[in-house]
Amino acid sequence: MALKALIFDVDGTLAETEEAHRKAFNATFAANGIPWHWSREDYRILLSTTGGKERMAAHQRDLPEKLTPEQIVALHAEKTRRYAEILAGGGLRLRPGVADLVARARAAGLKCAVATTTNLPNVAALTRATWGAAPETIFDAIAAGDQVKAKKPAPDVFLLALERLGLPADACLAFEDSRPGLASAQAAGLRVLVTPSVYTDGEDFSAADHVLPDLTHPLPDLLAEALDARA
């Protein structure tokens, strides 16, 4: 089937946001007197667990004193507010080639969607910081981690994106930067193009359909032809 839509992960795929997330977590821990501080190496390991609340739960698994589920939820909500403030402060840029691809896809009549483990407020914070617009003005469908039962590597969020697009998996191409994201998209039946991020550049992506350093590099024929055919 001809390509009709592009489905993007957010963190690490649209922009290198993970440092902003890490800083927001650490600031939240410090503000609440919690003796946790996640280094870059800590966070690289923690990213194998998808979802911020889940990441906190994973971190404390072997600790003698643990936060309650209610405390984790409250801390995550505070961290989300801090993350939005960090992005609103400026400096975040889309990864190379992202803005151009989205613009070309929309001009060519392709739909664009988001399928992300992060929550809706974080999606909005990113699009306002980079495109200067609300996410619904950029994307035709948005599927977020707080809208599904199971997060990546489960396929739920990509299946929700496909449902909201009204398209089958073979009419879409997914864009990811991590192994959990790759597994999630493939479990939903999608072809996947991976652009490794600064936190995932050492991972094995041999199972992906396509791997590029970033989206300024020559695009796979499937995508290039869809963009050219409708231009």
Please write the tens of the pLDDT for every residue from 23-34.
Answer: 999 999 999 999
Q: In terms of residues, how long is the chain?
A: 231
Check if 100 is active-site: no
**Token pair 């609103």 in the structure block, residue:** 88
What is the number of structural domains in the chain? Answer: 2
Instruction: State whether 111 and 65 are in the same domain.
Output: no
Residues 120 and 166 in one domain: yes
Same domain, 48 and 122: no
C-alpha distances (whole Å) from 203 to each of 39, 69, 195, 217 are 19, 31, 11, 20
Among candidate residues 89, 118, 152, the one where a domain is terminated? 89
* Whole-number Å distance between alpha carbons of 204 and 194: 11
Residues 184 and 214 in one domain: yes
CA 204/CA 206 separation, integer angstroms: 6
Among residues 68, 89, 110, the one where a domain terminates is: 89
Per-residue pLDDT band for 230 (boundaries 50, 70, 90) equals: low
pLDDT in tens, 170-210: 999 999 999 999 999 999 999 999 999 999 999 999 999 99
129 and 223 in a single domain? The answer is yes
DSSP β-bridge partners for residue 11: 15
Whether residues 106 and 67 share a domain: the answer is no
Catalytic option among 11, 42, 156, 209: 11
| Catalytic site includes residue 170 | no
**Contact criterion met (CB below 8 Å) for 230 and 108:** yes
Domain's final residue, options 72, 89, 106: 89
Which of the residues 9, 62, 140, 204 is marked catalytic?
Answer: 9
pLDDT score for 66: 94
CATH classification of the domain holding 132:
3.40.50.1000
Same domain, 110 and 177: yes
pLDDT tens-digit map of 82-116: 999 999 999 899 999 999 999 999 999 999 999 99
Residue type, 31: A
CATH number at residue 35: 1.10.150.240
**pTM of the predicted structure, to 2 decimals:** 0.94
Secondary element (H or E) of residue 176? strand 172-176
Q: Is 225 in the same domain as 135?
A: yes
Residues 64, 163 within the same domain: no
Helices (H), the chain: 18-31, 40-46, 52-59, 69-88, 98-107, 120-130, 135-138, 156-165, 179-187, 221-230
Q: Does residue 180 share a domain with residue 83? A: no
Q: Looking at the structure, tell me whether residues 127 and 214 fall in a common domain.
A: yes
Instruction: Tell me which residue range forms the domain holding 24.
Output: 18-89
Phi and psi for 114 in degrees, rounded to 5?
Answer: -120, 135
User: Is the domain of 130 the same as that of 178?
Assistant: yes
- Mean pLDDT across the chain: 96
